[in-house]
């Protein structure tokens, strides 16, 4: 399969990238690792006339822990995320999401910004990032704006990012004492496969051991990654135990809209939402206890 014709731009600064994206608007598309965009271009699902590489912009490749946040540049690769101590030690469910993504070859190129920009409902990084309540920093010639990740995805393949904008940074608040999160993905194979269901859960216990924050995120079972409000409601204000997690897992099954396709029936996916919700809550509780 041949790529359609396009003009390739390689800006060296964010400002230069903003100028190019402003000039070409919806005829342009940013590219980072290219593991998603190039495939889509070969399949003729996307045919941008201008492809704007972000991978030479040094300021988009950093990782730092600052003011209680882990700040990850949009072009930080998935392979580097797995190695990063700041991610592993502070936001371990994100590390688990990175480790679940693709194969070593894909992870060496794939970036966090590209994973979010692709807006695939089965992607591995949105659930843990949503569980931690991450914020995305979008930049354009008009300046920068912050958007909560919960508000970022609009439908499969589309996001709140305007054609003249790009994701510059992802900020994750370091979880407080008593907080923990877990992420699990289920695929037909262990690697190089699209997920059938993926779930991330986050809980924060107060000093009395009661859950005062709960976020449960479901992937592959709706047009975008979904929060599970019924499950979260059951968890809030309660002391965690297996019975509570079972109730929350049952509620999560009512929080999703799985379709039947070649990956599995809607009924199977709904059942797996229950299983993964229970297991991710158990991981989250273990982490929360360690983090106390």
Ligand X SMILES: Cc1cc2nc3c(=O)[nH]c(=O)nc-3n(C[C@H](O)[C@H](O)[C@H](O)COP(=O)(O)OP(=O)(O)OC[C@H]3O[C@@H](n4cnc5c(N)ncnc54)[C@H](O)[C@@H]3O)c2cc1C
Q: Which spans of this chain sit near ligand X (rule: CB under 6 A)? A: 29-37, 39, 54, 74, 78, 101-102, 106, 109-111, 113-115, 117-118, 123-124, 161, 166-167, 192
The residue among 117 and 175 lying less far from ligand X, judged by its C-beta, is 117
Comparing CB distances to ligand X, the nearer of 123 and 204 is 123
Nearest distance from C-beta of residue 195 to ligand X, angstroms = 7
Rounded least distance, CB 199 to ligand X, Å: 14
Minimum CB separation of residue 206 from ligand X in Å reads: 34
Of 123 and 131, the one with the shorter C-beta distance to ligand X is: 123
The string of DSSP letters for the chain reads -PPPP-EEE--SSHHHHHHHHHHHGGGEEEESS-TTHHHHHHTTS---SEEEE-TT-GGGS-EEEETTEEEEETT-BHHHHHH-HHHHHH-HHHHHHHHHSS-HHHHHH-BHHHHHHHT-TT-SSHHHHHHTT-EEEEEETTEEEEEEGGGTEEETTEES--TT-EEEEEEEEPPPTTEEEEEEEE-SSSSSS--SEEEEEEEEE-TTS-EEEEEEEEESSSSS-EE-HHHHHHHTTS---HHHHHHHHHHHHHS-----BTTB-HHHHHHHHHHHHHHHHHHHHHHHHHT-
Paired with 111 in beta bridges are 77
* Beta carbon nearer to ligand X, 90 or 111: 111
Q: Which residue number places its CB atom closest to ligand X?
A: 114
- Residue 289, phi then psi, degrees to nearest 5: -70, -40
Q: Which is nearer to ligand X, 160 or 238 (CB)?
A: 160
Minimal distance, residue 37 CB to ligand X, in Å: 4
* Structure token pair of residue 172: 């994750």
- Least distance from ligand X to the Cβ atom of residue 106, Å: 5
The least distance separating ligand X from the CB of residue 280, rounded to whole angstroms, comes to 17
Query: Shortest gap between Cβ of 184 and ligand X (angstroms)?
Result: 13
- Rounded Cα distance between 12 and 105, Å, is 25
- Choose between 39 and 177: whose C-beta lies nearer to ligand X: 39
Q: Which is nearer to ligand X, 96 or 205 (CB)?
A: 96
């Amino acid at each position: 399969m041949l790529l359609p014709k396009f003009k390739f731009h390689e800006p060296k600064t964010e400002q230069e990238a903003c100028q190019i994206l402003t000039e070409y608007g919806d005829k342009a598309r940013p590219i980072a690792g290219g593991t998603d965009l190039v495939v889509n271009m070969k399949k003729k699902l996307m045919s941008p006339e201008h492809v704007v590489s972000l991978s030479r912009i040094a300021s988009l490749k950093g990782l730092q822990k600052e003011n209680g946040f882990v700040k990850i540049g949009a072009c930080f690769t998935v392979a580097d995320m797995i190695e990063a101590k700041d991610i592993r030690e502070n936001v371990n469910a994100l590390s688990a999401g990175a480790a679940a993504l693709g194969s070593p070859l894909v992870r060496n190129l794939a970036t966090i910004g590209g994973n979010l920009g692709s807006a695939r409902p089965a992607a591995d990084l949105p659930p843990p990032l949503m569980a931690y309540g991450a914020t995305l920093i979008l930049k354009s010639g008009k300046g920068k704006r912050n958007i909560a990740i919960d508000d970022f995805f609009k439908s499969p393949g589309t996001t709140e990012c305007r054609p003249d904008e790009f994701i510059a940074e992802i900020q994750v608040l370091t979880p407080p004492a008593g907080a923990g999160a877990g992420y699990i993905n289920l695929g037909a194979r262990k690697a190089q496969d699209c997920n059938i269901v993926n779930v991330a859960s986050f809980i924060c216990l107060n000093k009395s051991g009661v859950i005062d924050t709960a976020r449960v995120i479901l992937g592959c079972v709706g047009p975008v990654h979904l929060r599970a409000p019924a499950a979260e409601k059951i968890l809030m204000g309660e002391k965690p135990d297996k019975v509570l997690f079972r109730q929350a897992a049952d509620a999560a099954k009512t929080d999703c809209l799985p379709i039947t396709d070649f990956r599995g029936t809607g009924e199977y996916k709904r059942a797996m939402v229950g299983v993964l919700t229970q297991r991710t809550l158990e991981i989250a509780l273990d982490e929360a206890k360690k983090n106390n």
